[in-house]
């Protein structure tokens, strides 16, 4: 059993999500697929599972070319996917779930027997008659694995399987994966967690910005893997940390929880005009921290002070009034209103609120901002017709001129180089005129180039915070991976 991918390419508009990806997984091999969010892992998994079709490239299983035009075809060809959230129908019993999707005319008798055989083989403790809603996430994964095996999976792809399970369950899962590999199964383990890939996999392919940046046997030095995950290149000049006297904002012992994501016992101090970069693997708490400061997620504990006033109780709209501003990573879903023109967005963003809109003024204001922010579009353009770079420019154009605090998720994710450079030159001007900026990024270069200070998030905590001059990109990579203390 061996899986062979040759030059898989998938484009979404101008973005190449998978750029000539080739990899091969032999029988009994556990192959890691490592990369930050947006690197192209999910696209590749979706291609293999038949949810989306590739533009180019070949997939071969045991020498047979596969077309994989639908999830059904993938299953029929022996490709089994264990999704991040196990696809289990909660109100149904375990055995019903086991039977669902079975293309063969099997009945309950066969299902009971097969389930017990597979459970015995791998030491699963699955009672066929209980409701699936009584199972833990780990047990749901076991159920799903058992089902995939019964359906005849010859290749097993696990997509971030450890996100929602405890460490005991994880050990159990890893043991199962090793057993499967010993039986000759080809396994692809998709993750952004370095240490797990190191622990489990025989070989790893690292994706970065849609391309393969490395493919090596494991174990391999962590520094090397991190540098391939994040990319470093020539280190540009770092900024001199700017701390203008007393702090403007003070976050003390703050905890907040959302689904998914959390921050625990976070301390952060921000002074006027300061730029703080939040580093960390996806889901380490940066997003929750930004959303909690913006007012979308309530603080469960701790204090949040502006100068000396406690503001942790204020909601987003109140904080907007204080001069806070939040720019999301998902610009289309959370930032802009599809179907409304740029003029309408400008009218929506103005604070002076006469009752009746003067559309002529709004139009000329929109034209001015299109010019100033070099947006490729007209006053009548709607966001869905703009490229990612232009959407980000539009969002910046709609912001009050100098907010007190700008909270920004992935300022340049998905942007072309020119737009990215433009966005940062604008953000730096903002910071010089007194706006404090806190941003998250998975680009080490971006973090070290533009931050005054870097806060490293890991498992919801800020594990380190330092002036940007005090750390190298390599060290930052290790901190992010949680494998190194400074």
Using rule CB under 8 A, residue 344 touches other proteins: yes
Q: Based on CB atoms, which residue is closest to other proteins, 180 or 407?
A: 407
Using rule CB under 8 A, residue 481 touches other proteins: no
Using rule CB under 8 A, residue 384 touches other proteins: yes
Phi first, then psi: give them for residue 190, nearest 5 degrees.
-95, 130
User: Shortest Cβ distance from residue 14 to other proteins (Å)?
Assistant: 4
Q: Specify the residue for token string 């594990």.
A: 463
Strand pairing report for 56-61 and 64-66: antiparallel
Q: Which stretch binds other proteins (CB under 8 A): 193-201, 235-243, 320-328, 468-476?
A: 320-328
Mask 126-165, x = binds other proteins (CB under 8 A)?
----------------------------------------
Q: Can you tell me which of 42, 141, 186, 274 binds other proteins, judged by CB under 8 A?
A: 42
Q: Can you tell me which of 90, 130, 175, 337 binds other proteins, judged by CB under 8 A?
A: 337
Q: Based on CB atoms, which residue is closest to other proteins, 349 or 459?
A: 349
Mask 280-299, x = binds other proteins (CB under 8 A)?
--------------------
| C-alpha to C-alpha distance for 393 and 324, rounded to whole angstroms | 18
For residue 343, the number of C-alpha atoms closer than 13 Å in the C-beta half-sphere is: 13
Q: Can you tell me which of 7, 14, 69, 265 binds other proteins, judged by CB under 8 A?
A: 14
Residue 209 tokens read as: 């910005």
Q: Can you tell me which of 328, 377, 403, 411 binds other proteins, judged by CB under 8 A?
A: 328
* Contacting residues for 253 by C-beta, under 8 A, at least 6 apart: 265, 266, 267, 301, 302, 303
User: Shortest Cβ distance from residue 386 to other proteins (Å)?
Assistant: 8
| C-alpha to C-alpha distance for 468 and 447, rounded to whole angstroms | 9
Which residues between 405 and 444 bind other proteins (CB under 8 A)? 414
| C-alpha to C-alpha distance for 36 and 128, rounded to whole angstroms | 38
Q: Can you tell me which of 167, 354, 425, 485 binds other proteins, judged by CB under 8 A?
A: 354
Using rule CB under 8 A, residue 387 touches other proteins: yes
User: Shortest Cβ distance from residue 260 to other proteins (Å)?
Assistant: 17
Residue 68 tokens read as: 């994989």
Q: Based on CB atoms, which residue is closest to other proteins, 135 or 329?
A: 329
User: Shortest Cβ distance from residue 435 to other proteins (Å)?
Assistant: 18
Phi first, then psi: give them for residue 300, nearest 5 degrees.
-80, -30
Burial of 351 (0-12, 13-18, 19+ CB in 10 A): exposed
CB of 129 closer than 8 Å to CB of 88: no
Strand pairing report for 299-306 and 309-310: antiparallel
Using rule CB under 8 A, residue 364 touches other proteins: no
User: Shortest Cβ distance from residue 155 to other proteins (Å)?
Assistant: 21
What radius of gyration do the chain's Cα atoms show?
Answer: 25
Q: Can you tell me which of 109, 240, 317, 417 binds other proteins, judged by CB under 8 A?
A: 317
Residue 104 burial (CB count, 10 A): 9
Which residues between 50 and 69 bind other proteins (CB under 8 A)? 52
The angle that helices 342-349 and 359-372 make with each other, rounded to 10 degrees, is 100
Using rule CB under 8 A, residue 234 touches other proteins: no
Q: Based on CB atoms, which residue is closest to other proteins, 109 or 317?
A: 317
Three-state SS at 51: coil
Using rule CB under 8 A, residue 46 touches other proteins: yes
Using rule CB under 8 A, residue 259 touches other proteins: no
For residue 176, the number of C-alpha atoms closer than 13 Å in the C-beta half-sphere is: 28
Q: Can you tell me which of 336, 366, 397, 476 binds other proteins, judged by CB under 8 A?
A: 336
Closest CA to 341 of 385, 379, 395: 379
Using rule CB under 8 A, residue 104 touches other proteins: no
Q: Can you tell me which of 13, 91, 233, 245 binds other proteins, judged by CB under 8 A?
A: 13
Cis peptide before 219 (omega within 30 of 0): yes
Which residues between 181 and 220 bind other proteins (CB under 8 A)? none
User: Shortest Cβ distance from residue 238 to other proteins (Å)?
Assistant: 30
Residue 131 burial (CB count, 10 A): 15
Q: Tell me, by CB under 8 A, how many residues bind other proteins.
A: 41
CB of 303 closer than 8 Å to CB of 252: yes
Q: Can you tell me which of 138, 283, 335, 403 binds other proteins, judged by CB under 8 A?
A: 335
User: Shortest Cβ distance from residue 96 to other proteins (Å)?
Assistant: 29
Could you write out the DSSP letters of every residue in 389-404? HHHHHHHHHTS-SS-S
| C-alpha to C-alpha distance for 317 and 314, rounded to whole angstroms | 8
Residue 191 tokens read as: 């993750």
Binding region for other proteins (CB under 8 A): 12-15, 17, 38, 42-43, 46, 52, 316-317, 320, 326, 328, 330, 332-340, 344, 347-349, 353-357, 359, 384-385, 387-388, 398, 414
């Amino acid at each position: 059993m061996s899986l062979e991918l040759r030059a898989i390419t998938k484009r979404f508009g101008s973005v190449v999500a998978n750029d000539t990806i080739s990899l091969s997984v032999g029988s009994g091999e556990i192959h890691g697929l490592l990369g930050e969010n947006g690197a192209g892992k999910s696209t590749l998994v979706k291609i293999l599972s038949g949810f989306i079709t590739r533009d180019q490239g070949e997939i071969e299983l045991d020498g047979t070319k596969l077309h994989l035009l639908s999830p059904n075809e993938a299953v029929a060809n022996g490709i089994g996917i264990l999704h991040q959230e196990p696809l289990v129908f909660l109100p149904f019993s375990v055995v019903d779930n086991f039977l669902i999707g079975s293309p063969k005319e099997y009945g309950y008798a066969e299902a009971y027997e097969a389930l017990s055989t597979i459970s015995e083989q791998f030491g699963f403790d699955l009672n066929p008659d209980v409701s699936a809603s009584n199972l833990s996430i780990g047990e749901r994964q076991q159920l799903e694995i058992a089902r995939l095996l019964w359906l005849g999976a010859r290749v097993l792809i696990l997509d971030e399987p450890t996100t929602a399970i405890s460490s005991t369950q994880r050990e159990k899962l890893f043991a199962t994966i090793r057993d499967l590999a010993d039986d000759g199964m080809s396994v692809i383990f998709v993750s952004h967690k370095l240490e797990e890939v190191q622990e489990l996999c025989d070989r790893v392919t690292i994706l970065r910005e849609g391309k393969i940046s490395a493919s090596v046997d494991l174990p391999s030095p962590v520094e090397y893997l991190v540098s391939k995950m994040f990319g470093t290149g020539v280190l540009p000049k770092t900024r001199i940390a700017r701390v203008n006297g007393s702090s403007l904002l003070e976050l003390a012992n703050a905890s907040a929880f959302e689904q998914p994501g959390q921050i625990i016992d976070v301390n952060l101090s921000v002074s006027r005009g300061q730029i703080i970069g939040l580093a960390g693997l996806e889901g380490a708490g940066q997003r929750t921290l930004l959303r909690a400061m913006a007012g979308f997620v309530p603080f469960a504990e701790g204090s949040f002070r502006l100068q000396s006033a406690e503001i942790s109780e204020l909601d987003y709209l109140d904080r907007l009034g204080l001069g806070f501003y939040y720019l999301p990573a998902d610009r289309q879903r959370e930032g802009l209103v599809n179907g409304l023109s740029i003029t309408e967005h400008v009218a929506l963003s103005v604070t002076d609120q006469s009752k009746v809109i003067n559309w002529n003024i709004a139009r000329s204001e929109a034209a001015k901002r299109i010019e100033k922010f070099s947006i490729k579009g007209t006053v009548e353009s709607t966001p869905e017709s703009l490229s990612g770079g232009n959407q980000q420019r539009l969002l910046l154009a709609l912001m009050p001129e100098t907010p007190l605090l700008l909270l920004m998720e992935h300022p340049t994710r998905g942007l072309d180089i020119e737009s990215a450079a433009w966005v940062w030159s604008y953000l730096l001007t903002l910071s010089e005129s007194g706006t404090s900026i806190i941003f998250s990024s998975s680009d080490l270069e971006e973090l070290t180039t533009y931050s005054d200070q870097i806060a490293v998030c890991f498992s919801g905590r800020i594990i380190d915070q330092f002036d940007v001059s005090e750390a190298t990109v390599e060290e930052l990579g290790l901190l992010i991976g949680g494998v190194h203390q400074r």
